[in-house]
């Protein structure tokens, strides 16, 4: 009918259809043009690219909220990328801890690209923090570890295992309470309760997690990576914060050579923490702390 108000969907589609593009560049992906508009969001800059997704800073068209918008990369050659993307949305929607990136919205562009929005965290990753300033003082490192354990304790209590914890998946901001404040991000490999993940061990070229931070059971295919696998990764993150050193390389992880890790920690960390981290890095998952809540209780107070 002439003069009628267009539906929100048609208005959104028209707004998307005439959108300009921006160029996404990263060290692991070829430069490519990306639509600047997605649903009610306008992309402002490219942030990063991973194995299955690309992340942009964006703003809500009406409310102006600043968010991080993650798209499922249509060119990613991962057999279960649709299921993985859906699981990440489910995981984030179920988590509400103040140290976990807050879920905001999800949708699909006019061209069919899936995306979801989460809170934008203005800061640096733990990896960048250590790269810029070197090993952290014990009090500061322990504060960050307690926050990390708090976020993961909620996830583990809900039956969710992150399965890709590493310094680059933990953001640090000083905008909250004028002190270090972390936000755990990237639940793209999360294991959810009641949903069996696909068996990646039989897929050629597929590795679950990040070499160096993955627990020994990933290399040996001795079993599924559960909360105890996250505990192992937290142990290596602690090592990184206290020493500024990278974790063992893939070959060392394969045989679980933790002697160097513990020796490094003994030079930098309080003795009572060294024994806690040594337990996190146990070869047998059953010998580690059962989950992040148990680890948080064991962490020294200062």
Site of tokens 């639940």: 187
Assess contact for 90 and 39: CB atoms under 8 A: no
Assess contact for 188 and 84: CB atoms under 8 A: yes
Please state, in angstroms and rounded to a whole number, the distance separating the CA atoms of residues 177 and 283. 38
224 or 180, greater pLDDT: 180
Site of tokens 């600047």: 36
Average pLDDT over residues 44-66: 90
As given in the structure block, the two tokens for residue 52 are: 């299955």
Q: Which residues contact 72 (CB under 8 A, 6 or more apart)?
A: 52, 53, 81, 82, 85, 113, 114, 115
124-298 CATH fold = Transferase(Phosphotransferase); domain 1 (1.10.510)
- Closest alpha carbon to 84 in 170, 184, 183, 206: 206
Please state, in angstroms and rounded to a whole number, the distance separating the CA atoms of residues 167 and 246. 10
Q: Per-residue pLDDT tens for 161-207?
A: 999 999 999 999 976 666 899 999 999 889 999 876 555 544 444 55
pLDDT at 278: 93
pLDDT at 126: 96
| Identical topology for domains 17-119 and 124-298 | no
Q: Per-residue pLDDT tens for 116-168?
A: 999 999 999 999 999 999 999 999 999 999 999 999 999 999 999 999 999 99
Please state, in angstroms and rounded to a whole number, the distance separating the CA atoms of residues 71 and 106. 10
Instruction: Looking at the chain, list the stretches that DSSP marks H as alpha helix, in order from N- to C-terminal side.
Output: 8-17, 81-94, 126-133, 138-157, 216-220, 227-243, 250-255, 259-268, 271-280, 292-298
Average pLDDT over residues 33-51: 87
Q: Which CATH superfamily is domain 17-119 in?
A: Phosphorylase Kinase; domain 1 (3.30.200.20)
Can you give the residue ranges of every domain in the chain?
Answer: 17-119, 124-298
% of the chain with per-residue pLDDT over 70: 77
Ranking 182-191, 202-211, 214-223, 286-295 by mean pLDDT, the lowest is 202-211
pLDDT at 3: 40
Average pLDDT over residues 266-294: 93
Q: Which residues are catalytic?
A: 164
Q: Which residues contact 44 (CB under 8 A, 6 or more apart)?
A: 56, 57, 58, 59
27: pLDDT strictly greater than 70: no
Site of tokens 């249509």: 74
* Model confidence, pTM: 0.86
């Amino acid at each position: 009918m002439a003069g009628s108000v267009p539906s929100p969907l048609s208005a959104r589609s028209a707004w998307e259809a005439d959108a300009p593009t921006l160029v996404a560049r990263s060290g692991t992906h070829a430069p490519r043009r990306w639509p600047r508009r997605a649903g009610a969001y306008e992309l402002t800059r490219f942030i990063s690219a991973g194995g299955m997704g690309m992340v942009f800073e964006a703003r809500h068209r009406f409310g102006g909220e600043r968010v991080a918008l993650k798209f499922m990369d249509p060119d990613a050659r991962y057999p279960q990328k649709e299921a993985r993307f859906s699981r990440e949305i489910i995981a984030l929607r179920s988590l509400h801890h103040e140290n976990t990136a807050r879920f905001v919205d999800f949708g699909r562009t006019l061209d069919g690209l899936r995306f979801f929005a989460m809170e934008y965290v203005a800061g640096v990753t733990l990896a960048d923090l250590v790269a810029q300033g070197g090993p952290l003082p014990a009090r500061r490192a322990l504060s960050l570890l307690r926050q990390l354990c708090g976020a993961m304790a909620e996830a583990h209590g809900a039956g969710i295992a992150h399965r890709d914890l590493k310094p680059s998946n933990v953001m640090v901001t000083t905008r909250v309470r004028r002190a270090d404040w972390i936000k755990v991000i990237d639940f793209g490999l999360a294991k959810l309760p009641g949903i069996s993940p696909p068996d990646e061990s039989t897929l050629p070229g597929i590795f679950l997690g990040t070499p160096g931070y993955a627990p020994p059971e990933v290399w040996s295919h001795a079993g599924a990576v559960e909360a105890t696998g996250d505990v192992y990764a937290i142990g290596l993150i602690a090592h990184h914060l206290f020493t500024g050193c990278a974790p063992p390389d893939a070959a060392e992880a394969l045989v679980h050579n933790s002697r160097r890790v513990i020796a490094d920690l003994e030079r930098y960390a309080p003795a009572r923490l060294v024994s806690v981290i040594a337990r996190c890095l146990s070869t047998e998952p059953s010998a580690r702390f059962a989950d992040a809540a148990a680890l948080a209780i064991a962490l020294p107070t200062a």
